[in-house]
Every structure is written in structure tokens, then in C-alpha cells.
Chain A
């Protein structure tokens, strides 16, 4: 998604000097994203940044971009002082969220005693600098916060919201009821369905969650009390709703990219601060915060050799730490992951069992067997799969007698869901013994595991005595490089950092991909085979070219066929071509018309490409078309056309060594090249190819004009005649062709008759008869002056 970013707005995040707009642009291109434009607007520069989907979580915001400037230019950002907000007695607010998955967080706050006016100049300028219209101070605050933090916000006019019996505002985030109506802020009347998530009070729908507010509760000059909303809505649901109602907003686009629920809290604070600045007498209520799951940070680990292995660099430990520091990432160095796992495990004894426990949210308070092992390794910076069967396939096989602390022991206890193939890691890998339980080996014959059958969830016992491990199906070692790991606590808003490859990219881009020194790949033992279809297609192409045929590429989409497109780009392009026929016919017609300009007596073309003769049928076809342009009797033309096709068929058969079964119409022959390939041997060596060096010239869009000129000549060469014709013809003469020449005796004097076709065309205008007649007159004059008899 492209967004406008104001340089001055970025600058306001810093006390110290930041690099100039040009320097910032260069830094971004090298280390962050494409700068598609940089426009001067007064003393500001507005960047047009192409933010890719993987950074849509944090970079559709000036603060996120400012943070990047800080990281890349090494300039610290201003410290933001937390302002104390005094809470007053206001109308009570209650919020209910019916579907936590669709709305992970909803924050609402009542603020009374507000005055809706024009925004202060600084705010209007900020908004206008990035093309946002100023509406009023309240609405502008919500837009400013979105553009600053990347968190969309909304404001309701509290006076227009329904009250409960006890005078409270009661908001609910729920699916719409079929047929419920809402008129949007910009007067679009919508009829809703149950897939649409809405914000509603006790009486009606107030807004389409994350997409658009309703007119009914919109803030205007009369508003004296508001409800601020800062919420988090599911990305997929928002995207689908936005498409369905046909409304795409800065808000919906940000939710579509998925943002962290953490941002809502910051947004609410910032919006409140700004409002108090503008309305110092406002009475600010408590924030009602419905947060489905606690905000937890992911941890991702990577070893130096893994990092350098991916990037092809030789970064040192110090260089990596410097970059992590620049990024402001909290991290720890785990010197020996395996030891950490083994040391940490016993500290979790007696933690309760929970089936399907989340490694992020439930640990370390509750575990199931596989979330326990996954959690321990994750904390040491090693990602292992979530499920026991996947962990089994993931690990390296070890025999029980050689088990080391940190190894995973798997069993089929016959009591839980038994898995016989992997679900996520190398999906479909068979595990014939079946597995339903996993534990961590601690050494000395002891293991630790989480099970519903243990007294208290996580228990430490001896392998030999554990009831759940009577039927051990395997022991696996987690293979990791024998070196420390950098285990990064991922900032909440960085939804893009989840696996070590993401970290490698992050560290690599800050280091600079331009600093990577290219290296040769040591010879891969790989015998490249020759692809039959590619090889023989080229052999046929070269044969056809030698026969005088030129290659065309035509369109796959047509107005008729057997295999239809569900969403054609145009009504007359609803089908995939069943054959090359229509395309070739069109091409022949076009070149028929242009034959004089091309200087061709015969139009000979071919195409090799895929055709679709039926639903889900795809074939490689070769089509050859011909048209005899030279003027002659129709019967002669038909004869010659037949001859052309016979010759070309023969030429191809000679080169390939097999007969081709082609279908023929009057102007073309086609054959199924894909089917033919089966009869052909495996190619031994590739078809040679030499590229041509060409100076392409754009064809004129204007019509050409034809003239013939014939003359008797003696004591002059054809070249000399052409020289005269071309000089007088000027650039307008684009082609000349000798079409007839013969010599005759006149009273003992030998005279030669020449007849030329002349083609005139201008690159920038339509020529007139008058103009060309003048040119012809000049040519005739000059030829006559040279002693030629122009007829």
C-alpha cells in the first residue's frame, strides 16, 4: 500500500537533526522500501512510500517510519512523556464484544464537555500535508492518530447514542442482523448481512467495524460529548466486509494488514491528550477495555552461523549486537539452548494441564504435552513444531539408550488422539507406530512431561516408571548449531517477525543488502536435462523462419471457446482460445492490409502456444498461416497457398523425422505439438540460437499511400534509378520494390523497362493525394531529365 509521509511530520519526532529528505530517501531505498516519489510542498517534502504487506502492521504510520529513520540514521527519537490524565465522573460506558476472534480488542472512552470547532492550525497543516481533509477537531484527532500511529480510531456523538434504563451507554460489537440498515457518514445507504461486524447501541447500528461510521452518530458542531473508539478488528473479516459493501477507507486498509491490539492503547492515550489540549475543560472518563487475550511478545532466536548462512555474509557477533541495538530490540544471548531447556523444565513442575494450550498465551501457566516442549525450546530461541507428531518428524532419530538431556521422548499411550502422519511439519510424513504423547528427557533416566493423567499437570518422573511412556515409539534430538543464539523479544507491533528467516531479513536489511559480496556457488552436481517441449518448439521455430515464416504472439482470451473464464476482463474475452486459428486469422488480415508497406508478396506467419479445446484441457499447439498477397487469379492463389503448406509440412517433417497430423483450413494448418512430442526422441543437445542486434522503429499510425512508376531506361543502372527515386521521394518514401523488369530491342537499341511499387507514409500525419502527386511529379521530372522515359 502506498502512503504519503511528510518529512516535517517525521522531523517532529526528533530533537536532533535528521538527514535531509534526499538522504532519507536513499536510506529508505537501501534499507526499507521503495520511494516512489518525493514532492516538494512549501518547506516540506512528501514521500510516496511503497509499504509492502509484511510491514503494513507498523509502517502505515509516521511514527513507524520515524522509528526507521532513527534506526537507519542513528538519531534517537524524542522521549515521549506520559501525561497524567485525571479521570472525571461521566456517563457510564459498557462494552460487550460478542466475537473475540473478530474483535480482539475494543477500547471506548466517554469524554464530556467538548467543543467541536475548527482544528488548530498545526493539526490542519499536518493532515493537509498528506492529503487528508480537515473536518473538525474531534474527527481530525482520530485521523491524526491513525496517520501517526497506524491505529484507526472513531468518535461517536454521545448525545445521539441510546441509553440504558440506568442512563449508561451500552455498546456492543456484534454481527449485523440480516437486513439491518445503516446510512454511512457520506450518505451511502447500506443493507447489512450477518457476515458484517458492526458497532451498535441498544437501538441501532452505529458503524461498520473498522470500515465506516454511520451518519446517525457522527460528530458535528452541535456535539458536546463523545465516545472515542480505538479497537482492533480481524483482518480477513474487515477485508471481506470492505469488498462486500464496496467501501475502502484508510481505516479498513490498515485493519486488512493486521495490526497489533497493543496499538489501540497508545492511540487512545494520544487522542485523549490531544483533546484535552484543545478542550482543557473536558471531562474524561475511564477507558473501558475489552481485551480478549493478554498482549504477549513472541520470541524468535537465530544463531550467527544461521544468519550468515542465509545472507551469505560474515557478520561478527559485535556487528549483530550493534544492529539489534540500533533496532531497539530487547534480546538475550542464550549460550547453550539445550542446557537452558533442561534447567528451565523442572521449574515448571505442577503447572496445570490444559488441552490445546497456546504456547504464546497459556504458557507458562498451563500446558499440554507438546506445548510444554515447544515452549521450553522457544524460550531458548529454537522453534519446534506445535504438535507431538510434527515434533517427532522434526527431530533427529536417536536410540533410547543414547538419549541426552534435552531430547524428546515420544510414546503411543493409546489414550489421546493418536497421529499417524505429520500435520504441519513436512505434512503427510507417515508415522506408522502412531504417537500421542511427548516428554522432555532430563538425563539419569528421568523425564518431565505435561499430561492430564499426572496429578498436577507437569510432572517429573523416571522414564521406566512413567505410565504414559510404557510404549515409547521414538526419541528425537533437536539439531541446532553448537553456538549461542540471539533470542529477540519481538516488539508487539512487528507481526512480521515470527521465524528466524524474518530476523535474518531484518538484520540483513539494516546491515545493507548492498554490502553483501557476491559469491560463486560451488559446483552443484546436477545434470540438467533438456526440456522436450522447449527444444522442439525452437527447432520448429527455426525451421519455419528458414522457410520464410514470421512468428506472432496472439491473445489467449477470445469471444468464443470451450473453456470459459469466470471473471473475464471484457465481455468479448470470456473464453480461452480453443485453437490458434482466430488469432492467426486476425494477424493475417492485418498483414494483408500492410503487405505493400512490408514489401511482401506472401504473408507467412506462425504461432506456438497453449490452446484450450475443452474444460481443463490444455495443449501446446503450432499454427501456421499463409496468405498470397501478390495479385493473381483466385485459382492460382489457392494453388500457391496449398503449395506453401505442403512445403512447410514437409520441412517440419524432414527436420523432426516424424509425420505430423495437422488440421487444415483455407488459410492455416494446425497441429498438436504437445502430442507430437511423445513420438520424438529425447534431445541430445540444445538448438543453437544467436540473438540479433536490431534498431527498432515504431510504425506510423497513419495510412500509407501506394504509387507505381514504370520507365524505359538505357545507359543507367537500377541502383542509379533508385537513387534518384529515393532522393526525390524523401523520408516519405518508406519502401520501394521492383516488381517488373525486362529488356526489349527498339531498332537495334536495347532498352530496359523498370516498374516499381512505391509506398509513402508519414510518421505524424495522413498524406494527401495532392502532396504525393507532387512528389511523383518531381520524381518523374528528375528521371526524365536523366533521359528516362516515364510511362
Chain B
């Protein structure tokens, strides 16, 4: 009986997630996780996302049946307040996980995808530290030439809120079709944790400050390997997986 001695293959989502998480554990971060079925409190209210507010439009939500105020988490940020409630600062955590959004599916949108969240809380933590941490991370992921930049953005759970761009992996900033000639690719949302969120986690915002960041893994995987349709990642198709 012929036995295939061939090894199997890890899914590119796992590979990229492990690479990202490993970069952060090498920087002293602790891996943590939370439930995919979440209360509205942890997914929205504790994160300073008010009810009936346009900010909720930024994340269309799946609700579960017959259990009030319960959703499928729309972001891994939901884990932030859980962790804060049971851990004293200082700490650095990294949270890989599956999230859900009520969105029409197409080549770049799926109802389920993966994110990785980071949260650092300590005394005197600030935006400059955020930039250094992300700079170090992207250099580990993409190489020594990788650069990051911050520009203004908004998320209800951070203030200041920023968008993080990384220098284009393909052209290293010269300009190409991947980065639409800008030399930069938008990769992450980030910012200084809003004092309301720290309070919701039982942390005094006058003593401690936090920085947080979140990245969509599926998009990174697609960019890294030139996979043009996110649905291919969930098709259970070995024609994709076995290339890795």
C-alpha cells in the first residue's frame, strides 16, 4: 500500500497569524482570546460605541436569536475590556481571532474574517510608543526596509485615533498598482485607548494610559500572496491551501 510521505499544509491564514503573533510574543506580548458570541456590552458599550449612533454603521452586526443584547463579535477589540477587568496594568496583549460583520459578500468582503488586536496598558504609554511598536513589528514581518506612518482617523474606542500605513511591500514606496501609486498601504487602525474604555475595564485613566491597534489578517494574506478573492480563503479548497 503506497503511503504518501508528503507533509500536509498549514492554511495561509494560520501561517500569517502565527507569524504576526510570534513577532509580538517575541516583543513580550501575551496571547489571549475571548468568545466569538459576545454581549453587546463588551462588543460596543464598554468600547465607547454608543447605541443608535453612526459609529455603529462602521460595523454592521449579526445578532443571535432569542438571546437579547447578544451579538457575534464584530471585532477582536471586544476582548480588551474582558482582559482589563481581570488583569492589572502594566500588560501587553495580542489577540488573534475570528470576527463577523453583516456585509454583502464579494471579492473583498466576507461575513466572517480574522483580526489581530493588540493592547498595551501602562504608565506613560503614548502614541510615540505605538509607532515604535508597530515599526518594529512591520520590520519583522516585511523586512528592514518597511516603514510606517500615522494619519488621523476615528474609532470610538481610541482618542487620538489613527490609521497606520505601511510602505508598499511590492515597490517599497516607489509606487505601483498594489499601492495605487501612493507607495503606502493602509493596514491597521490604532490609537490611544479612550479613557471611557479604561474605566469600563476598571482601570484609572489618570494613572494609566493604553495604546491599541487592530489589523485585518485576511487582507494582509491576500496582499502578501496576491490572492484576489477573500472567499477563496474559506472554500476549503486544497488547490489553494496545498500551495503553502
* CB-defined contacts of A601 to chain B, threshold 8 Å: 2, 4
Whether the pair B102, A567 counts as a contact (CB closer than 8 A) is yes
* CB-defined contacts of A524 to chain B, threshold 8 Å: 28, 90-92, 120, 122
A753 close to B (CB within 8 Å): no
Whether the pair A554, B234 counts as a contact (CB closer than 8 A) is yes
> CB-nearest residue of chain A relative to B22?
A689
- B192-244 CB contacts (< 8 Å) to partner A: 192, 194-195, 199, 202, 204, 206, 209, 225-228, 233-244
* CB-defined contacts of B25 to chain A, threshold 8 Å: 528, 686
In Å, the complex CA distance between A691 and B20 comes to 10
Whether the pair A239, B30 counts as a contact (CB closer than 8 A) is no
Question: Closest Cβ of chain B: how far from A494's Cβ, in Å?
Answer: 14
Interface string of B1-33 (1 = CB under 8 A from A): 110111111111111101101100100111111
In Å, the complex CA distance between A583 and B112 comes to 14
B172 close to A (CB within 8 Å): no
* CB-defined contacts of A427 to chain B, threshold 8 Å: 199
Whether the pair B135, A526 counts as a contact (CB closer than 8 A) is no
Whether the pair A520, B66 counts as a contact (CB closer than 8 A) is no
In Å, the complex CA distance between A530 and B195 comes to 28
Question: Closest Cβ of chain B: how far from A713's Cβ, in Å?
Answer: 21
Whether the pair A531, B33 counts as a contact (CB closer than 8 A) is yes
* CB-defined contacts of A31 to chain B, threshold 8 Å: 151-152
> CB-nearest residue of chain B relative to A427?
B199
Whether the pair A256, B37 counts as a contact (CB closer than 8 A) is no
A785 close to B (CB within 8 Å): no
Whether the pair A313, B128 counts as a contact (CB closer than 8 A) is yes
A178 close to B (CB within 8 Å): no
* CB-defined contacts of B53 to chain A, threshold 8 Å: 53, 235-236, 239
Whether the pair B152, A33 counts as a contact (CB closer than 8 A) is yes
In Å, the complex CA distance between A697 and B243 comes to 8
* CB-defined contacts of B5 to chain A, threshold 8 Å: 548
Residue among B98, B163, B202 making CB contact with A556, cutoff 8 Å = B98
Chain B binding surface SS class: mixed
A326 close to B (CB within 8 Å): no
Question: Closest Cβ of chain A: how far from B46's Cβ, in Å?
Answer: 11
- B111-128 CB contacts (< 8 Å) to partner A: 111-112, 120, 122, 124-128
Residue among B154, B195, B238 making CB contact with A53, cutoff 8 Å = B154
Whether the pair B132, A565 counts as a contact (CB closer than 8 A) is no
Whether the pair B135, A531 counts as a contact (CB closer than 8 A) is no
* CB-defined contacts of A618 to chain B, threshold 8 Å: 35-37
Interface string of B61-76 (1 = CB under 8 A from A): 0111111001010000
Counting contact residues on chain B (CB < 8 A from A), the size range is 35 or more
A399 close to B (CB within 8 Å): no
* CB-defined contacts of B31 to chain A, threshold 8 Å: 528, 530-531, 534
Most interface-central of A256, A569, A590 (chain B CB within 10 A): A569
Whether the pair B54, A53 counts as a contact (CB closer than 8 A) is yes
> CB-nearest residue of chain A relative to B122?
A524
Question: Closest Cβ of chain B: how far from A477's Cβ, in Å?
Answer: 13
B133 close to A (CB within 8 Å): yes
* CB-defined contacts of B238 to chain A, threshold 8 Å: 550, 552, 587, 590-591, 594, 598, 600, 603, 605
In Å, the complex CA distance between A526 and B24 comes to 14
> CB-nearest residue of chain A relative to B103?
A569
A121 close to B (CB within 8 Å): no
Segment at the B interface, from A225-233, A328-336, A509-517: A509-517
Whether the pair B244, A692 counts as a contact (CB closer than 8 A) is yes
Segment at the B interface, from A285-293, A294-302, A315-323, A498-506: A498-506
Whether the pair A56, B54 counts as a contact (CB closer than 8 A) is yes
* CB-defined contacts of B239 to chain A, threshold 8 Å: 594, 597-598, 699
Residue among B4, B10, B63, B159 making CB contact with A502, cutoff 8 Å = B159
B170 close to A (CB within 8 Å): no
* CB-defined contacts of B103 to chain A, threshold 8 Å: 569
A180 close to B (CB within 8 Å): no
Question: Closest Cβ of chain A: how far from B24's Cβ, in Å?
Answer: 9
* CB-defined contacts of B35 to chain A, threshold 8 Å: 618
Residue among B30, B122, B163 making CB contact with A531, cutoff 8 Å = B30
* CB-defined contacts of B225 to chain A, threshold 8 Å: 694, 696
Whether the pair B52, A239 counts as a contact (CB closer than 8 A) is yes
Residue among B18, B192, B204 making CB contact with A501, cutoff 8 Å = B192
Whether the pair B128, A517 counts as a contact (CB closer than 8 A) is yes
* CB-defined contacts of A156 to chain B, threshold 8 Å: none
Interface string of A530-550 (1 = CB under 8 A from B): 110110001001001111111
Whether the pair A513, B151 counts as a contact (CB closer than 8 A) is yes
Whether the pair A567, B10 counts as a contact (CB closer than 8 A) is no
In Å, the complex CA distance between A724 and B132 comes to 56
Whether the pair B55, A53 counts as a contact (CB closer than 8 A) is yes
Whether the pair B8, A34 counts as a contact (CB closer than 8 A) is no
Interface string of A65-89 (1 = CB under 8 A from B): 0000000000000000000000000
Whether the pair A567, B126 counts as a contact (CB closer than 8 A) is no
A655 close to B (CB within 8 Å): no
* CB-defined contacts of A576 to chain B, threshold 8 Å: 37, 64, 72
Whether the pair B122, A54 counts as a contact (CB closer than 8 A) is no
* CB-defined contacts of A756 to chain B, threshold 8 Å: none
Known: A556-B112, A598-B239. Is A516-B131 also a contact (CB below 8 A)? yes
- A474-508 CB contacts (< 8 Å) to partner B: 479, 499, 501-502, 504-505, 508
Residue among A56, A534, A557, A590 making CB contact with B237, cutoff 8 Å = A590
Question: Closest Cβ of chain B: how far from A761's Cβ, in Å?
Answer: 11
Residue among A505, A530, A534, A538 making CB contact with B159, cutoff 8 Å = A505
A377 close to B (CB within 8 Å): no
Question: Closest Cβ of chain B: how far from A686's Cβ, in Å?
Answer: 6
Whether the pair A1, B54 counts as a contact (CB closer than 8 A) is yes
Most interface-central of B21, B32, B127 (chain A CB within 10 A): B127
* CB-defined contacts of B32 to chain A, threshold 8 Å: 531
Whether the pair B199, A426 counts as a contact (CB closer than 8 A) is yes
Whether the pair A518, B128 counts as a contact (CB closer than 8 A) is yes
- B145-170 CB contacts (< 8 Å) to partner A: 149-154, 156, 159-163
In Å, the complex CA distance between A426 and B206 comes to 11
In Å, the complex CA distance between A584 and B36 comes to 20
> CB-nearest residue of chain B relative to A56?
B54
In Å, the complex CA distance between A601 and B4 comes to 8
Residue among A544, A552, A616, A691 making CB contact with B241, cutoff 8 Å = A552
A770 close to B (CB within 8 Å): no
Question: Closest Cβ of chain B: how far from A117's Cβ, in Å?
Answer: 37
A212 close to B (CB within 8 Å): no
Whether the pair A516, B28 counts as a contact (CB closer than 8 A) is no
* CB-defined contacts of B244 to chain A, threshold 8 Å: 692, 694, 696
In Å, the complex CA distance between A54 and B58 comes to 12
> CB-nearest residue of chain B relative to A510?
B152
* CB-defined contacts of B65 to chain A, threshold 8 Å: 563-566
Question: Closest Cβ of chain B: how far from A310's Cβ, in Å?
Answer: 6
Whether the pair B111, A569 counts as a contact (CB closer than 8 A) is yes
A604 close to B (CB within 8 Å): yes
In Å, the complex CA distance between A499 and B4 comes to 64
Whether the pair A310, B152 counts as a contact (CB closer than 8 A) is no
A160 close to B (CB within 8 Å): no
Known: A56-B54, A533-B33, A551-B9. Is A602-B18 also a contact (CB below 8 A)? no
In Å, the complex CA distance between A250 and B186 comes to 29
Would you give 24 A-B contacts (Cβ < 8 Å), ordered by A? A33-B152, A54-B154, A235-B53, A427-B199, A479-B206, A505-B161, A513-B149, A513-B150, A517-B128, A518-B135, A521-B129, A524-B28, A531-B33, A548-B5, A550-B10, A551-B241, A555-B234, A556-B36, A563-B65, A564-B66, A584-B236, A609-B98, A612-B37, A696-B227
Q: Other than A530-B31, A534-B96, give 13 A-B pairs with Cβ distance below 8 A.
A: A53-B54, A513-B150, A520-B132, A549-B8, A551-B8, A563-B64, A566-B62, A591-B237, A605-B238, A610-B36, A612-B37, A616-B67, A692-B244
- Kindly list the 4 A-B residue pairs having the minimum CB-CB distance in the complex, ordered from nearest: A312-B128, A587-B236, A52-B154, A505-B160
